[in-house]
Amino acid sequence: MPCSKTMAEPFALMALVLDAAIGWPGALYRRVGHPVGLFARIINACEGAWNRPTHSDGIRKTLGVMTVLILLVLTIGAGLGLTALARHLLGSCWWLGAAALAWPALAQRSLYDHVLPIAVALEQNDLESARHAVSMIVGRDTDTLDRAGVARAAIESLAESFCDGIAAPLFWLVIGGLPGVWAYKAINTADSLIGHKEARWRAFGWAAARTDDVMNLLPARLGGVVVCLAGGGGWATLWRDHRRHASPNAGWTEAAMAGALDLALAGPVSYDGVTHAKDWIGSGRRDAGAADVRRALRIYVRACLLLWAIVAALTWKDIVWAL
């Protein structure tokens, strides 16, 4: 596609293509890490300095708000600066640079590559390998999971991560460009590190958790609809069960996937040896298996392609208006 000052710059679509084609290669990760690692270092530094047990909850909450503001100022500022630099160096083709800078914020290829080995191990009746593979993407205890538990964990992680790994960053990339997508990734990283309900984190991580909830509000609902479209059903489960998740957002894509597969997901789960009684999502009565993980991956791929189609349509609209 030739560069033109009147053409809408399809950097979001190009970023999707780059991510799907090559993901974030392991060699690159080992050499330079990943941008979210920088966010983690900032968050951990703030937490170590400010989240002191001697502080009152009010002070810890205020310092947690400051941590979120620091992340937003840094990421939005860096995004604006990098966009300006790309425009300066590349002129009307600046969107090529923007796509390269946005590509690491997406996780289509990475998520697929992490879930596929779980299906393969289950198909080979290698439960230990399946447990190890699923432990790479979930926080629950995996050492005692049976085949159905491993399959459910893989499908749940795939469904939830479709939102915060693809739909949400893509939404903020389209809405806010580089500042939007990297601000989202910083907040999402903060939520995963400090946005917990345990006593240590409750006050300090409050701002990170609430900001992440707000930033995922629309993408989660869009993601649920897209998963149902990709799965050819699941609407009733989506509307009925999305509230059964502890998160106001994660339940949308998980309920959509449960409905599309006719499975029951979630339910009781163990963390650090303690069992937590979570509600079931979905009304399926059979155990999940390797075939369901494969089906979930196919739905996931179709859902990603639907997002591609939405972005392509928006880009085409802008091109037509620019002519």
- Comparing CA positions, the residue from 18, 177, 10, 15 lying closest to residue 92 is 10
Write out the chain's pLDDT in tens, 323 residues: 444 443 335 889 999 999 999 988 777 777 877 889 999 999 999 999 999 999 999 999 999 999 999 999 999 999 999 999 999 998 888 888 999 999 999 999 999 999 999 999 999 999 999 999 999 998 888 898 999 999 999 999 999 999 999 999 999 999 999 999 999 999 999 999 999 888 899 999 999 999 999 999 999 999 999 999 999 999 999 999 999 998 899 999 999 999 999 999 988 888 877 887 888 999 888 899 999 999 999 999 999 999 999 999 988 766 555 55
257-260-262 Cα angle (round to 5):
100
Q: Where are the domains of the chain?
A: 11-322
Nearest to 136 by CA among 162, 155, 118: 118
In sequence order, the 6+-apart residues with CB closer than 8 A to the CB of 176 are 79, 183
pLDDT, position 310: 93
8 A C-beta contact, residue 295 and residue 265: no
Dihedral-angle region of residue 34 (phi above 0 means left; psi in -120 to 50 means alpha; beta otherwise):
beta
Which of helix, strand or coil describes residue 270? Answer: strand
Residue 5's pLDDT is what? 41
Check residue 7 and give its pLDDT. Answer: 37
Structure-token pair, residue 62: 């205020």
Query: Is-above-0.85 flag for pTM?
Result: yes
CA distance 119 to 112: 11
Task: Identify any residues that bridge with 38 across adjacent strands, giving them in sequence order.
Answer: none
Query: What is the per-residue DSSP string for 192-258?
Result: HHH---STTTTTTTHHHHHHHHHHHHHHHHHHHHHHHHHHT--HHHHHHHGGGSSSTTHHHHHHHHH
CB 99 within 8 A of CB 71: no
CA 162 and chain centroid, separation: 6
Structure tokens at 154: 């893989």
Which pLDDT belongs to residue 321? 58
Compute CA 244 distance to the chain's CA centroid, rounded to the nearest angstrom.
Answer: 20
